Amino acid sequence: MKQNAFWGRTGWFAVMLKNNKYVDMAKNYIEAWAKQKNLDNIYEVFAPYYLVKDRDPYDNPRNKQEQLYPKIIFVHMNLNPDTYSVVKSCPYVMYILKKNNPVPLTDKEVEALKQARDETKPAIKIIFTEGDKVRVSRGPFEGFKGTVVHQKADGTVEIMILVFGRETILNLAVVDAERLT
């Protein structure tokens, strides 16, 4: 492999993945390959998540993880031809950010990422008003458009839709309706 000006840099590098669903697989793959090749130049791999306090369609409280930066993982390594090839050979990796000249993140940026990982954010409350135009996003009536009649305190909304030319009231969980603009 040719000599590059960026070989020998140590720090946190952002790695772009092909898809968001590959985050954990890419993390495990890179760690396993580094261990198998006895590379002690890859120190840590992490994807910053934050916890969202949310409610399920039945209005039960739940916590779910959301990725802070979709399709990106951060690898703490000494960038050299061996570590570069381990990261690049991962089938889920597209490239190390700043393709031609990878630059590590500053310590301040990494600390901010780690602090954001420990935070919990409240979910956004969806509120409809009478007369809002909505589309059903899940269920047997998915794709139907209608008008909000009433939103209840239990997390459901009544929507007026047309079924076979007749107006019909449909009770849905708020998360199953999306506002049309």
Query: Over the Cα atoms of the chain, what is R_g?
Result: 23
Tell me the pLDDT band of 13, cut-offs 50, 70 and 90. very high
- Kindly report, residue by residue over 73-100, the tens digit of the pLDDT: 999 999 888 888 889 889 989 888 887 7
Give me 90's structure tokens: 């991962």
- Kindly report, residue by residue over 44-67, the tens digit of the pLDDT: 888 888 777 766 767 677 777 778
- Helix and strand numbers (H, E) in the chain are 3, 12
Single pTM value for the model: 0.61
CA 52, 58, 60, 62 dihedral sign is negative
Instruction: Tell whether the model's pLDDT for residue 149 goes beyond 90.
Output: yes
Note the pLDDT of residue 14.
92
Instruction: Tell whether the model's pLDDT for residue 145 goes beyond 80.
Output: yes
- d(CA 107, CA 12) in angstroms, rounded, equals 8
More confident residue, 32 or 7: 32
- d(CA 70, CA 67) in angstroms, rounded, equals 6
Classify strands 133-136 and 177-179 as parallel, antiparallel or unpaired: antiparallel
- d(CA 123, CA 104) in angstroms, rounded, equals 32
Domains of the chain, start order: 10-122 (3.30.70.940), 133-179 (2.30.30.30)
Note the pLDDT of residue 57.
66
